Every structure is written in C-alpha cells, then in structure tokens.
Amino acid sequence: MKVYQTSDIRNIALIGGAKTGKTTLAEAMLFEGGKINRRGSVDEKNSVSDYREIELERQNSVFASVLNAEFGGMKINILDTPGFDDFIGDVVSSLYVADTAVMVLNAQNGIEVGTEVTWRWTAKYSKPVIFAINHLEHDNSNFEETVEQLKKHYGGSVTICQYPVNVGHGFDSVIDLLKMKMYKFPAGGGKPEITDIPDAEKAKAEGLQNAMIEDLAAIDEDLMETYFENGTLTEEEIQKGLHLGIRNRGIFPVLCINAKQNMGVNRLLEFINGSAPAPDEAIQPKTNSGKELTCKAGDTVNVFVFQTNIEPHLGEVSYFKVYGGEIYESVDLVNIQTKSKERLSQLFVFNGKNREKVEKLKAGDIGATIKLKNVNTNDTLSVPNNDDFVTPIEFPEPKFRMAVKAINSADDEKLGLAFNDLRKTDKTIKAGYFKELRQMIIEGQGELHLNIIKWHFENQYKIPVEYFTPKIPYRETITRVSQAAYQHKKQSGGAGQFGEVSIVLEPYAEGLPKPLKYKIKQTMRKSSVQPLSIQKGDGEITVNVRGLDEIELEWGGKLEFYNCIVGGAIDARFLPAVLKGVMERMDQGPLTGSYARDIRICVYDGKMHSVDSNEISFKIAGKTAFGMAFKEAGPKILEPIYDLEVIVPEDKMGNVITDLQGRRAIIMGMEGGTIKAKVPQAEMARYSTALSSLTSGWATYSMKFAEYAPVPNDVQDKLLKEYAEQQKEEE
C-alpha cells in the first residue's frame, strides 16, 4: 500500500446517535474511495464496519471500526463509532485520535441524546465538527427544523454550506453554496449531474451564501477586511475561511447526504479533503510533561495505542496513531509506561475485519499491529530514553452495576480470565470481587452494555452467568464519645487465656486535637467488667498519650489508635494484638457487617496475667470492647452518594425531577437541558431502564462517586432489621 505524507492524511470519526446512518455512510465512503466494489448494508448484514457476530445479530454497531479509503489522492482514516451511549468508550477513544468529527444526524429526529453526548466529547477534546444531515429521503424529514435545533444548541457558528431542494420521498437534489451549483443525483444514487441553480432557488441560495460568507469573514481579520472592501469573498477566500474556521471550531458547516442511496457522499469526501485539517494542522493531545504533540515526520517517534481488539485467528490487535516520526515493519520500540521492549513485526491498515499490510506509516497516520507482548490501550511506544508519553484517554466512569456469578462454580476461574480479556478491549468496564459484599461486581455504562457483556460470556467464552442486584457498600461510623471495658477469661486445663482492656471511642475528624480528657456517662453491662478507676473522677477519664498509630483505611476514612497505657497495666507487646482485634471488628462492622471508618480509639487501661495473658486474649478483648463501645457511640450507617448528571429534553425534565426526588436525590441545579443532582447509590438500581421509560429513550446520564453520607433514620432502622434477620438465617 502507498505511503502517505502527513499532509495527505485526514482522520475522521463518524459520531452521532443510534440509527442516524453512520455505518451506512462509512460503507458509501469506502465505495467512493474504491475499497469495495459493492455497497453492503446493515439490514443485509454484510457491511464492512459491522462484521462481529453480536453486531450482525443486533444490527447495530457495538464497537468502533477502523476503516480507510483513498479519495482524491488522499488517505481518509474513518472511525465508525457506535451510536448507543452504552458503548461511549469506543466513541471517546476514536474522537481522541481523530482530527475531525463528522456528526451524522437523522433529519427525521433532529438533535437526539446521542448528538448531545458526543458533542460534549468533541468540545472536551477541541475537535472540529462537520454536521452531515442524513435521511433526507423520508417524508417526515425536516432540514430547516434540524438546522434551527443545531443553531439553538450550538450557536451561530453552525453554518449552512448545502441545503436540499426536495426533502422527502423522491429527494435527489442539493444546492451547494460553495460551488453555487445544484447537484442532481440519479435514481439509486451515484455520480450527480452538476447544473446551474434553478431560478426558483436563486434568491434563497444567494441569501444563504451571503450568510455563510459573513460567518467565514468573521473568522479572520484579513478576510473581514476583504469582505468589507468587496462585499463578498472569492471561492479561494471562502475555502481559506472554511479551513481556518473548521480547524479552530469557529465554524460548524452543515452538509446534506442520503447515505443509503449514496447521494452527497462524494461531495462530503471532497469537502473533508479540502477543508478538514491534516494531522499536523489539528490540535493534538499533550504528553505527560505538557509538551504539545505536532504530528510531524521529523518529531521523535511516538506511537499511541488507542484501541485493543481480540480478533478470531489473529488474537490481540493493537490500533494506534503515529503522533510523531515514522515507523516501519520490524521496528523496535519501548513501551514508555512499562519500559518493556516491543517489536512491531508487522504493520497493517484495517477495513473492518479485512487487513492490508504496509511497510511504513508516517506521522498522523492510523494503523495496527498484532502480537505485542505487554501493550494495552493508552500505552505509548517510542524510542529508548524518551520519557514523554501521550496523555492517556480519560474514559467515563461506570454508571450501572450488577452482581454476577457463573452458574457453574467450576467456571469461576474462567470468568475471571474472561473479565481480563473484556477489560482489555473496553476500558469502561470495571469488575472485581468485593470482599465486604461477598459478590463479584461488574460495572458498565448501562443495562444494554452489561447485557452485551453477558452475551460475550455465554457465546464467546461459553460461560453461562447470571446477574442479580448487587449489595450496597455501606460504611459504619460513630457520632459521639463512648467507653467500654471487657475482660476475656478462659480456663480449660493447662494454660488459660486472660486479657482485659478499657477503651474510649470518639469520632475522628481532620484537625481534631490530641486526646486529653473525656466526660463520659458510665454504664454497666453484663458482658463487661467494672469500669476501671485510673485517673477518673465522676464520669471523667483523663488519658496520657504514649503512642499513636494512624491508619489510612483501604476502604476509605481513617483510624487513630492511641496507646494511653500508664503504669504497665498492659505490656506494650500486647497492644498490636488489641489493634488487630479492633481492625477485625472494623472489617465487619457491628451494625450491618459493613466496613467501619473515621474513628479514634484510646486504650487507657487494662489488666494482664503473668501466665495466661497472650496475644489471642488481648485480640479478643480489644475486638469485643470495640464492638460494645461502638454501639453506645451514636452509631450511624453511611451510604455512597453519587454526583448525577442527566441530559434530558426540556419537556421531560419535570418527570425526571419528580422521579429523582422519589429516589432521595438532592437537585443541585438545572441548566440547558441538564439536571445535576446528588443521589444515593442504593436508589439507582436499573435507573437507566427507568430513565429510558420516562423519556422514551431520549435521556442519558452519567454518575461519579462523590462521598459517603449518613442514611436517614428510617433507612437505618430498615437496614438494621434486615441484617438481624440475615444473621438469624445464617445461624
């Protein structure tokens, strides 16, 4: 295959909502670019892009496909992305390496949730956007309304460069405002007849062209001066304005297509060649040191892996973008993150499952290789002694979780290996065994996402699994000071067991002063010994700090363990055993068995026996005393709270807010079709399904862990009751 110079490469990502026609457009682009002789279709299950078994079964894209075509002497790398929000991970990785986004819209629906979601990612990565309005052949299509929606949502920079003449059944003509010509397509699509604009359309075309020229003139001071002097711009000056405006996100041009019948696709490719930025002109990500990547052939070799697939008969395929220099077959590079040496023994460019070998790829190009030893998505390969790696892609956090287990317990190990494989190919998946919940939890972007993962387990890995509602990772803490003393004594012939500790508990908070004196209401318990009388007045305990262990708990929060023993009441060698007992009780909290956190404990007194005292005795004494004191210290259950952001049509906002309030959410704000709220994780089971039902599938949401907060009293009472019943069942 020909080696392309950086200036002759265009990298585009096809983005937008589901059913907008992205895969159909990609098929037409490959046809126009000479890569295929016959256009396949999603309906006939023979498109180049949707080739995987799950995609053929569902008849929609689940993964991004890496494609390429040659058009007008240039190479256009095409990243065809999924439309459903559940598969946003592949959209994000594709946009990260693309230099231009082609946002495909369905003229029947206008702006959809998928449009808004992907638009936000283009803004995050400062990617140019070209709007391609598709499905103009349907009777209920509305080009003008779609454009108005675009301008309302994305501002006056949305600029019409083409408009359709006869929208609806029989659509076959487009007015091109750049060429000021009409493109009339034959039945079934193909090469258009280019004619003068009909008299009936001249006034409209001239008005829209003037509006376009005004928008372009505002991009550049020289163009603005020319426009003021001449009252218009030449075709060459219009092209200059477009190129500058698209690159800087100052202009978002609107073009018209009928992808299914291959109308307007050839002209869209011409437009991409002439107006979209080359890799060395586009804004690229930075390295870890803050250096801006420039995609120039003279730069240090920099190869960034943005996607990993596992293909039948090939194994692991690593897709990459060359951000600097040039690479060739059998080049030896170093994985900057792991420092491992890697040989790119073969280089390929892909069109779906079809691959073509290449000898060399230059800066800005996209390619793939296989059988790398230790390379994952987000890794950078470069020359030895180069420590600059491409800033990793930040994938969205999961927002839907389920517990999962293999139906056959013998498959448990295979299930773990399958997780590892899927995690390589989809960085938006999180999975792991939660010891506190005693469950394997899998997290993803939505119910559809997890159902697709289940399909892979059962069809690709032959592991039947079942999903069920996961437990909530509650936490336990205290709200006031308490005291307890406990004596562990056991005699059963021979050496016995004896250990006694007295402790004070109080809530831990950042900046709390060192403990000195506590006023405590003394209480008697059958399970405790008499409170001890060291340095104690009427309900007052004074402590002398001898040592401190500060423990950052692996489940969040902190424990401060103070040694306040005086007079040798407990030998120092037994205090680690007391701490171990406390940690065991915090590992399975006294209220619901959840982790305990944010506690200060002072061990201020106790007793030991010269023969019978040992570590196990003091561990049991410390564990029991902690549990007793905890229950008297105003114990509180904490629940995980998430920051929630819902993107929803304005006419559905009332229904969504009402539903959120029923989920104990606190509404933090509303702006431009976005609701922000704080909501307990316990109330979000299957929220994606409920939200889809409330909004007829038009809304989407994202969640990110925010904090732990106390549950309401009625919820705590319910949780305590459930835990007590569970304990009875297990006895």
Q: Supply the CATH number for residue 365's domain.
A: 2.40.30.10
pTM: 0.86
**Residues 641 and 629 placed together within one structural domain of the fold:** no
For strands 536-537 and 540-542, give the pairing: antiparallel
Residues 6+ apart with CB under 8 A from 550: 558, 559, 560, 561
Same domain, yes or no: 80 and 201: yes
64/166 same-domain check: yes
CATH of the domain at 645: 3.30.70.240
Please say whether the beta carbons of 256 and 136 come within 8 A: yes
Structure-block tokens of residue 108: 């029947």
Q: Are 214 and 231 in contact (CB under 8 A)?
A: no
Considering its fold, how many domains does the chain have in total?
5
Can you count the helices (H) and strands (E) in the chain?
Answer: 16, 39
Is 311 a member of any domain? Answer: yes
Q: Which domain holds residue 78?
A: 6-275
Residues 190 and 324 in one domain: no
What is the CB neighbour count within 10 angstroms for residue 699? 23
CA distance 150 to 159: 10
10-residue mean pLDDT profile of the chain (731 residues): values are 94 96 97 94 94 94 96 97 95 98 96 90 97 96 96 93 94 96 91 95 96 94 93 92 95 97 96 97 95 93 96 91 96 96 96 94 97 95 94 94 94 92 94 90 94 96 95 96 93 82 95 86 42 47 92 95 93 96 95 95 94 93 96 96 92 94 96 93 91 86 93 95 86 63
294 occurs within a structural domain? no
- Cα(160)–Cα(62) distance, rounded to whole angstroms? 31
- Examine the domain organization and report whether 442 and 522 are in the same domain: no
The answer as to whether 289 is a domain residue is no
C-alpha to C-alpha distances, 118 to 59, 103, 188, 207, nearest whole angstrom: 21, 8, 31, 31
Question: What pLDDT score was predicted for residue 518?
Answer: 86
Domain of residue 191, CATH code = 3.40.50.300
d(CA 456, CA 139): 39
* pLDDT computed for residue 533 by the predictor: 35
User: Do residues 73 and 90 both lie within one domain?
Assistant: yes
Domain-embedded: residue 726: no
Under DSSP, the state recorded for 300 is P
User: CA-CA distances (angstroms) from residue 643 to 444, 474, 691, 701, 707?
Assistant: 16, 17, 16, 10, 9
**Burial of 494: CB neighbours in 10 Å, binned 0-12, 13-18, 19+:** exposed
Q: Is the domain of 199 the same as that of 122? A: yes
The per-residue b/e assignment along 28-50, b for 16 or more CB within 10 angstroms, e otherwise, is bbbbbbebbeebbebeeeebbbb
Distances (CA, A) of 186 to 141, 256, 262: 20, 16, 10
Picking from 633, 654, 683, the residue at the C-terminal end of a domain is 633
- The whole-number pLDDT of residue 491 equals 78
Whether 26 is covered by a domain: the verdict is yes
Same domain, 534 and 449: no
Strands 158-160 and 252-256, sheet pairing: parallel
Tell me, what CATH number does 434's domain have? 3.30.70.870
- For residue 615, give the 3-state DSSP assignment: helix
Neighbours of 335 (CB within 10 A): 21
Give dist(CA 460, CA 418) in Å, integer.
Answer: 9
CB 451 within 8 A of CB 689: no
Q: What is the pLDDT of residue 649?
A: 84
Among 382, 410, 437, the domain boundary falls at 382
Are the C-beta atoms of residues 256 and 162 closer than 8 Å to each other? yes
Helix, strand, or coil (residue 511): coil
Same domain, 311 and 333: yes
> In this structure, are residues 93 and 64 in contact, taking their beta carbons and an 8 Å threshold?
yes
Q: Does 191 lie in the same domain as 265?
A: yes
| pLDDT of 522 | 52
Residue/partner pairs of 207-210 with CB below 8 Å, 24 or more apart: 208/160, 208/163, 208/177, 209/177, 209/180
Is 693 among the domain residues?
yes
Residues 411-421, buried b or exposed e (16+ Cβ, 10 A)?
beeebeebbee
Model pLDDT, residue 537: 41
Identify whether residues 371 and 520 lie together within a single domain.
no
Position 298 scores a pLDDT of 92
Q: Judge whether 409 lies within some domain.
A: yes
* Side-chain-side CA neighbours of residue 706 (13 Å): 16
434-to-92, 557, 595 alpha-carbon distances in Å: 28, 18, 12
Give the burial string for 88-127 (b: 16+ CB within 10 Å, else e): bbbbbbbbbbbbbbbbbbbbbbbbbbbbbbbbebbeebeb
| Domain end marker among 453, 471, 489 | 471
Are residues 463 and 528 both part of a single domain? Answer: no
CA distances from 12 to 80, 94, 95, 278, 671 (A): 9, 9, 8, 10, 31
User: Does residue 659 sit within a domain?
Assistant: yes
What SS3 state is found at 320? Answer: strand
